[in-house]
Amino acid sequence: MTRRERPVSRVLVAGGAGFVGARLCARLLLNGSDVICVDNLQTGHISNISTLECMPGFSFIKHDITVPLRVNGRIDEIYNLACPASPPRYQINPVHTLKTSVLGALNLLGLARAKGARILQASTSEIYGDPQSSPQTEGYHGNVNPVGPRSCYDEGKRAAETLFRDYGIQHGVTTKIARIFNTYGPGMAPDDGRVVSNFIIQAISGNPISIYGDGSQTRSFCYVDDLLDALMLLMATPHEVSYPVNLGNDGEFTIAELAKIVLAKTGSTANIIYSPIPVDDPQQRRPDLTLARRVLNWEPKVTLNDGLDQTIPWFRAQLKAGTRLPEVVA
């Protein structure tokens, strides 16, 4: 049977021109789904989806999800990945970031309800704020400043989780909540501003590595393809799996360790410069993955070492092509 003769699922990916979204669109197309990518191109780029645009079954709608969206025809699944994820990016227009999480979630939940589609929310480890217990389990309610520079993102994502829960209960929509921990990989924008992209770009261009604070804060880094496996498995779970599930990699590294690894892997002799730690920057972060392992029968497979080996060549190619660089090295 050819692809067109098969009953094809029709999947909407909001934020589909971003780092994770574009790779998800590609995976869904390869799996035989039709994909509608919706993005306002705020932090995403057309270049991320240019190779997909000639594939049968792919369509792109430039749209801001803070505005209700009409889509003709059937939709089976909606992934809501629309939201800038990098702290410097989401802090540029904090009111819009909050609107994206709250109004955007409402609009997409309404669409899911109208179409009878299941819907997955890309939530975040940021809902735990600066956690006072580690590793973070889904039962931990977090330590979030409601009035700080990160609040637009953290509180927006928290409110979106509430909306997902309540739409499930009140309207019977099948909802999924993925609490995603720091994810990296090929496809990240060089000017994204997050730590993995900054350090690699700085190292390969011979600019100083910018550590904020003393580098003792920790993060757990997940390779993008491990995350995509988990997101697709979570989407396929029974209706009852509507509770939040942590997704990430539970290896924990200090930011100073990450800098050392990146310098060694790139063969760079760049210096390290230290600057003050941003307000409310979480001191430690590591997912408890017990629930994901049990419910999804999934395990992150790619170590930081192997994931960086996949990612560094991507940034070398971007640098060669003269793609946008972060201000810290420009």
| Residue 49 CB, nearest approach to ligand NAD (Å) | 9
In the range 219-248, which residues lie near ligand UDP by CB under 6 A? 219
Cα–Cα dist 26/24, whole Å = 5
Edge to edge, the sheet with strand 58-62 lists: 58-62, 34-39, 10-14, 77-80, 118-124, 175-180, 244-247
What are residue 212's DSSP bridge partners? 275
Among residues 217, 242, 246, 318, which is the contact residue for ligand UDP, using CB under 6 A?
217
Nearer to ligand UDP, 211 or 245 (CB): 211
Q: Does 83 bind ligand NAD (CB under 6 A)?
A: yes
Secondary structure of 264-304 in HEC code, one letter for each residue: HHHCCCCCEEEECCCCCCCCCCCECCHHHHHHHCCCCCCCH
Cα–Cα dist 266/209, whole Å = 12
SS3 state at 248: coil
Q: How far is CA 26 from the centre of its chain?
A: 15
**Closest by CA position to 126, among listed 302, 278, 260:** 278
Which of 90, 153, 184, 223 is the catalytic position?
Answer: 153
By a kind-dependent CB cut-off of 5 to 8 A, residue 64 interacts, out of ligand NAD, ligand UDP, none, with: ligand NAD
| Residue 267 CB, nearest approach to ligand NAD (Å) | 26
Nearer to ligand NAD, 82 or 258 (CB): 82
β-pairing, 218-219 vs 244-247, is unpaired
Burial class (CB in 10 A: 0-12, 13-18, 19+), 2: exposed
Cβ neighbours of residue 209 closer than 8 Å, sequence gap 6 or more: 199, 202, 203, 259, 262, 263, 270, 271, 272, 273
In the range 137-196, which residues lie near ligand NAD by CB under 6 A? 180, 182-183
Among residues 137, 278, 314, 319, which is the contact residue for ligand UDP, using CB under 6 A?
278
153 tagged catalytic: yes
Element housing 115 (H / E):
helix 94-115
In the range 194-213, which residues lie near ligand UDP by CB under 6 A? 194-195, 198, 210-212
Among residues 11, 12, 13, 17, which is the contact residue for ligand NAD, using CB under 6 A?
17
In the range 23-82, which residues lie near ligand NAD by CB under 6 A? 39-44, 64-66, 81-82
Among residues 281, 314, 316, 323, which is the contact residue for ligand UDP, using CB under 6 A?
281
Q: Does 123 bind ligand UDP (CB under 6 A)?
A: no
Sites of contact with ligand UDP (CB under 6 A): 86-87, 182, 194-195, 198, 210-212, 217, 219, 255, 277-278, 281
Residues that bind ligand NAD (CB under 6 A): 14-15, 17-21, 39-44, 64-66, 81-85, 100, 104, 122, 124, 180, 182-183
Catalytic residues: 153
